[in-house]
Amino acid sequence: MTSAADLMDDAEQGVASPEAAEHYINRELSWLAFNERVLAEARNTDYPLLERLRFLSISGSNLDEFMMIRVAGLVGQVQRGIDRLSIDGRSPSQQLTAIRDSVQSISDEQQSSWAELRDMLAEADIEIADGKRVDARTHIALKSYFLEEIAPVITPQVVDTAHPFPFVSNEGLGVLFNLTRESDGESIIEMILIPSALPRFVRVPGDPAVYISIESLIARFAHHLFPGFTIEGDGAFRVLRDSDIEIEEEAEDLVRTFRSAIQRRRRGQVIQLELDGDFDPVCEELLREQLAMQGATILKTDGLIGITGLADVVAEDRPDLKFPSYTPRYPERVLEHDGDCFSAIREKDLIIHHPYESFEVVVDFLRQAAADPDVVAIKQTLYRAGNQSPVIAALIAAAENGKSVTAVVELKARFDEEQNLLWASQLERAGVQVIYGFVDMKTHAKVSMVVRREEQGMRTYCHFGTGNYHPINAKIYTDLSFFTADPKFGRDAAKLFNFVTGYVEPRRLETLAISPIDLREALYANIDREIENAGNGRPAAIWAKLNSLTDKGVIDRLYAASQAGVEVQLVVRGISCLRAGIPGLSENIRVKSIIGRFLEHTRIWAFANGYRLPSERAKVFIASADAMSRNLNRRVEVLVPIRNRTVHDQILQQVLLANLLDTEQSWEQHPDGTYKRFDSGEKPFNCHRYFMTNSSLSGRGDALEAGDVPKLVLQQDND
């Protein structure tokens, strides 16, 4: 069940005004528009074939999660009679109607893209054998694999009055068979639920590559499972269920509550049922009767169900059909200090740009802390750490080496709850003090602090990130890691941890803004300052890079800035409820989205602060938070000011500016909420390619001075 707090994401924005639909874009429809941009990359002929297939698979995975979380939440609202309006003035039922139309359109486009890519794969010697005749060698190999590897694992189940319809778990895949017993002509329906441990696509050994989906393989050789029966028809299906977790504020034992909630999630209400286009009518009637509950979406397709499963084919070892391999560079500054992270950070603040610069430096920071006899304590937030985490290993090693180690493990990280429970257990066994934070708020801040005994006394080294401590994601997500030994940051980081571990609300913070305490107010104050500067005739501009922009308060502040004459340029990868370019409301606001090889994840805010040349005194911040109500009201987040001049310019004049200048991977938002791909023009610019070829922030100053990327200048003050 979707949590009550998340259900109010839009409702808490306030009562919708009559002009709501004209001023704001629906959150759910904006997300679907984002997924359409992801899906469009499956048709991008500039990409290698398997990379196009990867984008198709990602669009399927994205849509699954959207259905399991967001649509499930709206269905729950309708069923419980909750009629709060969204930011654009729609009721839950109105949103569901619009969503289902859009989901059907996306599904149709996914299948069209799949049909096109499937033919292209065949031309590239990667054959998908679903529903196709195969040569004798392939047939023998498939039959052998089925009989030896699949048949012993699967279990046919008869469905009749004596055998109730079996439970189908979330993301469950199965096949129904309509059989006739040859001895007496009796009709029987059998079901095979496909275990999740089996591969989604089976590859036949040899070259060229031949794949077949697991459901097609079972259907092809089902006669071996049902001797003495005639197969009259069959059909494959897939089920998605409500997958959010609701935790009551009075939960006495958070760990036990989450273990129970994870089990309940697997049995949530059916939200979507996917069916083969040629499903046997008798079997389909039974399936709809058993699973098509009120509010469920039914998708019937002649193509492939479970598009996300194509990730198995993407894994094919064909470097010629993928992006050229890329190896992140280790930060030059740290290498100059012979790999000593603490020495490099002591010299001056350091910014690392992932994935262009290696996340290994973050791991090394913790590994060195674990082994350093002068390190006294380590404190670490953990939201998502991955299945095999060197970060966890470093914290365990530190505890075993006698350090005082505190880990804030967020159990409410969606779909990572079970893994985080496992990490928490391992950390506790090693002697780490594990804290689970607030019951009603997620700890989403990305902070690590190391306290080290030095000649001058105790010194605190801090790492603040825009992304999770997840080494795998760090290879494909763009994020920033900021290291500092500034005592002000150290004192504030300590207060942040005391807030999470002991509920001691921080006072008199020197650097950080923390939600839900004062992060919103800090953003408002900086936006208001730009409005004031514009009113006084001084240069005024706001630049931001975010994943999502849905909070009505922030949007209204940006509208006020636009109306005051402030130039506002926003790079918002995913959801944007703001309508850009509307005369009298937002004509000075530009919104773009970048979809490319890497997933844009960095959060940056920059404010001109009255200066035409932003490098002079613009205010620059990095953040763990997006501009969403949940981030500003119901999560522990940090907004980190960047005061070191070098780091300030690297973020502003390199990272942020390159994103603003990108044309090859960018989409521009129009006032009606639709997006159009940029025209690359005579001088196309690809920010991902730029950073891959200039992959060290500390080594890129010469490129900027040479004019490869123009510096950020406020145009309205040029004369």
Note the pLDDT tens digit of each residue in 451-462.
999 999 999 999
CB 78 within 8 A of CB 242: no
The 10s digit of each residue's pLDDT in 321-339 is 999 999 999 999 999 999 9
Mean pLDDT of 574-591: 97
The Cβ of residue 279 has, within 10 Å, a number of other Cβ atoms equal to 20
Q: Do residues 202 and 212 lie in contact, with contact meaning Cβ atoms separated by under 8 Å?
A: yes
Locus of tokens 């699967």: 154
Count the Cβ atoms, other than its own, within 10 Å of residue 18: 7
If you average pLDDT over residues 277-281, what whole number do you get?
95
- Quick one: the chain helix, strand, coil %, rounded to 5? 40, 25, 35
**Secondary structure (DSSP) of 91-128:** -HHHHHHHHHHHHHHHHHHHHHHHHHHHHHHHHTTEEE
> What domains sit in the chain, N to C, each tagged with a CATH number?
4-43+54-109 (1.20.58), 121-320 (3.30.1840.10), 332-511 (3.30.870.10), 514-717 (3.30.870.10)
Residue 697: the pLDDT is 65
What distance in Å separates the CA atoms of residue 641 and residue 46, rounded to the nearest whole number?
38
Residue 6 has pLDDT above 80, yes or no: no
Q: What is the pLDDT of residues 218-244, one digit of tens each?
A: 999 999 999 999 999 999 999 999 987
pLDDT of residue 206: 85
Structure tokens at 347: 């010299």
% the chain with pLDDT above 70: 90
Strands 187-194 and 173-181: antiparallel
Catalytic residues: 444
Choose among 63, 64, 42: nearest CA to 53.
Answer: 42
pLDDT of 715 reads 47
- SS3 (DSSP) at 248: coil
Q: What is the pTM of this model?
A: 0.91
Closest to 85 (Cα-Cα) out of 548, 552, 520, 440: 552
Q: What is the pLDDT of residue 250?
A: 44
Task: Report residue 623 as tokens.
Answer: 């953040």
Q: Kindly give the pairing relationship between strand 477-484 and strand 599-600.
A: parallel
Q: Which residue did the predictor score with more confidence, 419 or 527?
A: 527
Residue 701 has pLDDT above 80, yes or no: no
Give pLDDT, residue 418.
Answer: 76
Distance (Å, rounded) from C-alpha 418 to C-alpha 172?
19
List Cα–Cα distances, 273 to 64, 121, 130, 236, 626, in angstroms.
Answer: 11, 28, 21, 11, 32
> For residue 131, with 0-12 CB atoms within 10 Å meaning exposed, 13-18 middle and 19 or more buried, which class applies?
exposed
Residue in the block written with tokens 């409005």: 531
Supply the pLDDT for residue 595.
97
Rounded Cα–Cα distance for residues 588 and 127 (Å): 51
Q: pLDDT at residue 13 above 80?
A: no
Question: What would the pLDDT profile of 43-57 be if each residue is shown by its tens digit?
Answer: 999 999 999 999 999
Packing angle between helix 27-40 and helix 92-123, nearest 10 degrees? 10
Q: Which residue has the higher pLDDT, 711 or 364?
A: 364
Question: What is the model's pLDDT at position 263?
Answer: 56
Please give the torsion angle defined by the CA atoms of residues 497, 498, 504 and 509, in that order, rounded to the nearest 10 degrees. -70
- SS3 of residue 461 by DSSP: strand
Q: What is the mean pLDDT of residues 183-209?
A: 94
Return the minimum-mean-pLDDT range out of 3-7, 88-92, 151-155, 390-394: 3-7
Given a cut of 50, is residue 714 above it in pLDDT? no
Q: 61 burial class (0-12, 13-18, 19+ CB within 10 angstroms)? A: middle
> Is residue 636 predicted with pLDDT exceeding 60?
yes
281-292 pLDDT, tens digit per residue, is: 999 999 999 998
Residue 252 is predicted with a pLDDT of 45
Quick one: pLDDT at residue 717?
38
Which DSSP string do the residues of 119-187 spell out, in sequence order? HHHHHTTEEE-TTS---HHHHHHHHHHIIIIITTT--EEE-BTTBPPPP--TT-EEEEEEEEETTT--E
Please name the residue ranges forming H helices in 431-518: 487-502
38: which 2 tokens? 């992801």
Q: Express as a percent the part of the chain with pLDDT over 90.
A: 79
pLDDT given for residue 345 in this prediction: 97
- Give the per-residue pLDDT at 261: 54
**pLDDT of 245:** 60
- Residue 251 pLDDT > 80: no
Sign of CA dihedral 417, 422, 360, 318: negative
Pairing state of beta strands 209-213 and 126-128? parallel
The mean pLDDT value of the chain amounts to 90
Which helix (H) or strand (E) is 556 found in, with range?
Answer: helix 552-563
Using the CB atoms, write b or e for 618-652: b if 16+ within 10 Å: bbbbbbbbbbbbbbbbbbbbbbbbbeeeebbbbbb
620 by DSSP, 3-state: which?
strand
Q: What is the dihedral of CA 369, 462, 600, 468, to 10 degrees?
A: 50
d(CA 242, CA 72): 5
Q: 33-47, 101-115, 670-684: which range is least confident on average?
A: 670-684
Whether residue 610 contacts residue 538, with contact meaning beta carbons closer than 8 Å, is answered with yes
Residue 582 phi, psi dihedral angles, 5° rounding:
-90, 120
Cβ neighbours of residue 88 under 8 Å, at least 6 residues apart?
16, 20, 21, 23, 24, 25, 26, 577
pLDDT class of 258 with cuts at 50, 70, 90: very low
What does the pLDDT average to over 89-108? 95
- C-alpha distances in Å from residue 615, one per residue of 381, 606, 652: 32, 11, 8
Q: Terminus-to-terminus CA distance in the chain, angstroms?
A: 58
d(CA 244, CA 225): 37
Strands 599-600 and 156-158: unpaired
Residue 203 predicted with pLDDT over 70: yes
Distances (CA, A) of 493 to 469, 484, 548: 17, 11, 26
Extract the tokens encoding 378. Answer: 């380590």
Burial of 562 by CB count in 10 Å (0-12 exposed, 13-18 middle, 19+ buried)? buried
Which tens digit of pLDDT belongs to each residue from 403-453?
A: 999 999 887 756 667 787 888 889 999 999 999 878 889 999 999 999 999
CB distance 417 to 385 below 8 Å? no
Q: Kindly report, residue by residue over 343-383, the tens digit of the pLDDT.
A: 999 999 999 999 999 999 999 999 999 999 999 999 999 98
pLDDT digits (tens, 9 = 90+) for 659-695: 999 999 999 999 999 999 998 888 889 999 999 987 6
Closest-CA residue to 69 (of 238, 299, 243, 261): 243
In three-state secondary structure terms, 565 is coil
85, 307, 568, 582, 674 from 18: Cα distances, Å: 12, 40, 26, 17, 22
The predicted model gives 607-621 an average pLDDT of 85
Q: Which among 351, 376, 358 has a CA at the least distance from the CA of 465?
A: 351
To 10 degrees, the CA torsion angle through 466, 470, 474, 479? 0
pLDDT for the residue numbered 243: 82
CA angle (587 as vertex; 585, 593 as ends), nearest 5 = 110
Q: What is the pLDDT of residue 479?
A: 97
Closest CA to 86 of 4, 2, 16: 16
Mean local confidence (pLDDT), 76-95: 92
Contact between 169 and 267 (Cβ < 8 Å): yes
- What is the C-alpha to C-alpha distance for residues 558 and 570, in angstroms, rounded to an integer? 10
Q: Which amino acid is at 319?
A: P
